[in-house]
Structure 1
């Protein structure tokens, strides 16, 4: 057994040396595109395996009490170097002592000796508890806190980084679950739902698990408690800027999101990029190229006699003054709690422009421009809103009421088109003030079908499609419905009909990709269209649905339907139609 352990450690040392050697050679090689792609694929596979290795190593440090090694043992381990022999490794078993040592516990050893950040060390130990098991006060091993996720952590077909992240999320709500059998039932349900997301649609799993955790942390707080916490709070001056904190109800958040969606859309008047730059210049005084000639400039923007051009301060040494901000080309559609490293792989940003001019304003700054334009706009004498202009958007929010869920008194009977759950009180308030446009889903949709009488989809049809599908059809894409185009699944030029059942929403990128044959839309009898990815992206060849804008409960239902539909299709029990590109 001792020799086997020494050989395994020798293999790990060799793996490090091999990876370093390969990286040095590939970094200076003239790679072809295919070899570069394989290089990246192997690197990610290695990173996934390394995640497992790191958690196992943290568990081993704690279970063996490695922080109690004496000074001679630490010196012997350090002296092994990068290429030890089997015999040298076998001799470096180490001795623990009951006396005073350098480190208090495994976390102290990881931070003090291995130079791992304290928060990272703590996270790995928590992941070890959840996915591998820990030790009790008597030093006896304990079972993993999340056994279902523990099995997935060892599954080579599931990214262990996502599993480890999910374990951390679920561990963060352990105090919110309560105590006793009820708490255990809640934990098992959370674990089962999280495992289902990781297994069926990993691209959207992080977002849905974040939503599940947020629901647990929110609990059933009374409306008065929610109302006591909302408002706009001035936080004071920080780094030359005045900070405000917004806290709003979910229903209010839906209006804000809809307003920003229009500002983010360059095809609307409100989101016109050049117009936004001109409006921004009114607040900031920055120069803009928004006027065609000197005569069209307002008085404050014209050069005055005596004004002199002053050269800007030279850029700091080592900085490229012409380099674009890497974040200025992408909109942030990432849900709260989701970090940049694991952003959904769908197209969550605007199409990259031919030049960066109209994207000089970052998404955050564009939205501030729109907010300021709203505050400073003047209403017409009759009280009606001002004319459309850059930065001044309209907030149209769709709320889907599920009659069957309402009858069963389920919590998610009222959901906005962006997947935000509304409480019964918020839904009633919306019904009192909103313009009600009944859109009957799951019906025959005959009133909205235009057949061959019209090629383009009508506004009513697009409204129905947005309510039904909420966003782009491509799995994992986070482009909202307002930024998507209605796409004929039956080509019009080949006799296709402009009917709801023959339509789907796609963002500009994935609309083009479908027509280029990069993925296929599949028409399912009695169901929403699904997507079939090519074998190189999905070796399992499963029918898939984009659940990004669904609530966790809706997403689980949709994934179960996709699994069932795939099984029936493969068994020859269901006739599906793959749409032409």
Structure 2
């Protein structure tokens, strides 16, 4: 073993001790906000480097056959780890043996010696194959299975954790690519699209790469095969809760998403937080009081009488049973997708405060139960009752695609791709609004005749932009506010081309100057982040609610517009706060 390699190992050991001592100081006492930010930034940089180092270490274990080290060599390695010094690392060079050893292979070494979980070991070695290269049966090195992603993994400017996540997703679909040149072409295309997402918009890359892989795995399945798989399936009891699995067609999912988006909106009657909190109390039996009103309360339960007692000479009433409290479920595994921004504050009140602490999944269940338990004979619109919404789905038709090949021309405003058959059926359904984009906007423009955008304008804007303007924001369009990019008080018009969408957080943030909206002639508005968040100062589009194909096109458009702007060939307007 060379002195240079032994010194590198000694440097790693020193770095580990330095990190531990620095963490103890920074985590153990008062810290200024700026130093806390530096602490978090440096810790994340270390995590990035560590993710690369771990793969290179696993690659080194496998290519050197370290699992065949003899007992004396393992003892030297252990002592070097406990008492790191240059001399100890020189002694720990070790030697392999053909005799029986502790571990059968590299996976066994990682799991049995370093106590790394087996699932983590499998993923780590799969990533080595994908990003660093493997070995054939004769031990000869093989190139990386995903060479384009391997180049990004080696780039210090790219987060290796995001590349690793994409590589694992593509590796999981390797059996779905098929054989021969067609399979290789499909893999290359998927790799190129994944690399483009990582390069252009890392915040939404995981979502789009997951969607791309899902498309490959689903393939072109016939309708009957899809229909055979849909339904509500009961899985049974787990931790005091009954579990169901719901499988639906994309068209059904569009209706469900629209219902949930309406239910999640606290400004609507259906999403009224106080009323939904009371509704949940009725479903679960967790009422604030045991009786709705004093008139319905029996004498023995009124003030002055002990609970469960009865007047003398009367029959002993049965005490109301306390409903079984379910066991606390474990924390569910969260998906790769980013968290929703904080919701706007609700008026103070115990019910509102209690309900806002609940997760969106629980709110939606309350709305679903309200839908099942509503009285169909009562008068009034279902959309005017707490927990009941009238879902409205916008289907966006690409007219040129529809005329050209009749495939993949329809997508919902939440990014769900519909087949031609589902589109035809959905357009005959109440609550579905077809929108053909790229037409003239004049019929929906109001100029200065009206301060607020009309319902028709709002529907068109939400369908076109899908969600918040801010890159990576996961707030759906239904929860976003319409934003005048030409300030009304300064003479601006209420026109489509002068509108953008912003969630409550980012709408206020734009007006506070935390980022800028950019108007481009003949193009959708884009975002320009501040220099501390985006040193490259690129024009960006939020692609979170787009399909992968739409996101690739939007990212390419943003790249072209940025290049033209920097070259002085594009007259853009950076909107003032």
| TM-score when normalising by structure 1 | 0.91
Q: Which moved more, 1:355-364 or 1:527-536?
A: 355-364
Q: How many residues align structurally?
A: 554
Q: 8 Å contact 1:277–1:288 — kept in the other structure?
A: no
Give the Cα–Cα distance (whole angstroms) in 1 for the partners of residues 407 and 222 of structure 2. Answer: 14
Change (3 A) 1:40 1:326: farther
Report the equivalent of 1:58. Answer: 58
Which of the residues 364, 370, 374 maps onto 2:371?
A: 374
Report the equivalent of 2:558. Answer: 562
User: How many Å apart are 1:302 and its aligned residue?
Assistant: 11
Q: 8 Å contact 1:131–1:150 — kept in the other structure?
A: yes
User: How many Å apart are 1:300 and its aligned residue?
Assistant: 7.7
User: How many Å apart are 1:35 and its aligned residue?
Assistant: 0.7
User: How many Å apart are 1:385 and its aligned residue?
Assistant: 4.9
Report the equivalent of 2:202. Answer: 202
Report the equivalent of 1:480. Answer: 476
Give the Cα–Cα distance (whole angstroms) in 2 for the partners of residues 54 and 275 of structure 1. Answer: 51
Q: 8 Å contact 1:445–1:500 — kept in the other structure?
A: yes
Whether 2:283 is the aligned partner of 1:276: answer: no
Report the equivalent of 1:100. Answer: 100
For 1:39-54, list aligned pairs within 5 A. Answer: 39-54=39-54
Which of the residues 373, 386, 392 maps onto 1:390?
A: 386
User: How many Å apart are 1:10 and its aligned residue?
Assistant: 1.1
Give the Cα–Cα distance (whole angstroms) in 2 for the partners of residues 494 and 303 of structure 1. Answer: 68
What are the ranges of 5 or more consecutive residues in structure 2 without an aligned counterpart? 309-318, 323-327
Change (3 A) 1:274 1:435: closer
Change (3 A) 1:75 1:352: farther
**Which secondary structure does the structure 1 equivalent of 2:170 belong to?**
helix
For 1:353-502, list aligned pairs within 5 A. Answer: 356-380=353-377, 385-386=381-382, 388-409=384-405, 411-434=407-430, 437=433, 439-502=435-498
**Which secondary structure does the structure 1 equivalent of 2:552 belong to?**
helix
Report the equivalent of 1:350. Answer: 343
Report the equivalent of 2:137. Answer: 137
Give the Cα–Cα distance (whole angstroms) in 1 for the partners of residues 294 and 31 of structure 2. Answer: 52
User: How many Å apart are 1:394 and its aligned residue?
Assistant: 1.4
**Which secondary structure does the structure 1 equivalent of 2:244 belong to?**
strand
Change (3 A) 1:535 1:374: same
Q: 8 Å contact 1:67–1:104 — kept in the other structure?
A: yes
Q: Which moved more, 1:75-84 or 1:116-125?
A: 75-84
Q: 8 Å contact 1:378–1:386 — kept in the other structure?
A: no
Report the equivalent of 2:535. Answer: 539
User: How many Å apart are 1:85 and its aligned residue?
Assistant: 2.3
User: How many Å apart are 1:361 and its aligned residue?
Assistant: 3.5
CA RMSD of aligned residues (A): 2.5
Report the equivalent of 2:112. Answer: 112
Q: 8 Å contact 2:395–2:434 — kept in the other structure?
A: no
Q: 8 Å contact 1:10–1:85 — kept in the other structure?
A: yes
Give the Cα–Cα distance (whole angstroms) in 2 for the partners of residues 251 and 301 of structure 1. Answer: 51
Whether 2:499 is the aligned partner of 1:503: answer: yes
Give the Cα–Cα distance (whole angstroms) in 2 for the partners of residues 28 and 52 of structure 1. Answer: 29
- Select the structure of larger CA radius of gyration: 2
Report the equivalent of 2:307. Answer: 308
What are the ranges of 5 or more consecutive residues in structure 1 without an aligned counterpart? 314-323, 333-337
Q: 8 Å contact 2:392–2:431 — kept in the other structure?
A: no
User: How many Å apart are 1:438 and its aligned residue?
Assistant: 5.2
